[in-house]
Amino acid sequence: MNRFSSIALAILFLLAACSGAPAADQPQSPAPTQSAGSVLFQDDFAQPITGWDRLLVTEGVMDYYSGGYRILVNSLQTNFWATPRRNFTDVRVEVDTGKLAGPDENRIGVLCRYSDGDYYFFIVTSDGYYGMGLFKDGQAALLGQSEMLPSASINKGLAINHLRADCAGDTLTFFVNGSQIAQVQDAALTSGDVGIIAGSFGAPGVDVIFDNFVVLQP
């Protein structure tokens, strides 16, 4: 299934309010490098006071929910994303995530090096596809692949997936449930925020939960 055209269109996001923190809310310089494996940031979303977006609009919802963080997308070809308003250089981003309801043809993932609307994305779908790429200057491009690709490592349907994205220097590596599924080199972005993302293709009602978000020094 070729979903590249769909993702390129859908990543032209509907809501500027979902684009993360204003520049003034972010640190002026990245957090200092620590020893490999050090925890740089973590959130299990148990307390709704850790700075993530809380949004309720016709097009969808982003909020703390039942001990996790929920993103509901009610619009077609739309992505919602949220960041904790941090700034890092090299990171290893991990999260547990699963679909609560809605179509299996969706987008669920993590971000790194988010800055001024540009970022790297690492996404899976609930019917077993994945993609990783760059959103820059209002345009999306998959990296290392021409279309969304299937992977047996992705749990389908309502099952939980553990996602991991390593952004180290110019090397980007994507793991799902402990298995490396993709790796590319790209030097377009060097630092920025981290985050989570969920989106729809041709059907609304994508309802996703995230938990155990952690950022480590790679």
Binning the chain into helix, strand and coil, the percentages to the nearest 5 are 5, 50, 45
Any domain includes 23: no
- pLDDT, residue 32, reads 78
Could you tell me the CATH number of the domain that includes residue 94? 2.60.120.560
Residues 57-66: what's their mean pLDDT? 96
- pLDDT, residue 28, reads 57
- pLDDT, residue 192, reads 97
Q: What is the pLDDT of residues 124-147, one digit of tens each?
A: 999 999 999 999 998 999 999 999
Residue with token string 């993702």:
7
Total number of domains in the chain: 1
Q: What is the pLDDT of residues 140-184, one digit of tens each?
A: 999 999 999 999 999 999 999 999 999 999 999 999 999 999 999
Structure tokens at 149: 């690709």
Q: What is the pLDDT of residues 33-56, one digit of tens each?
A: 788 889 999 999 999 999 999 999
Q: Which domain holds residue 179?
A: 4-16+36-216
Prediction pTM value: 0.88
Any domain includes 172: yes
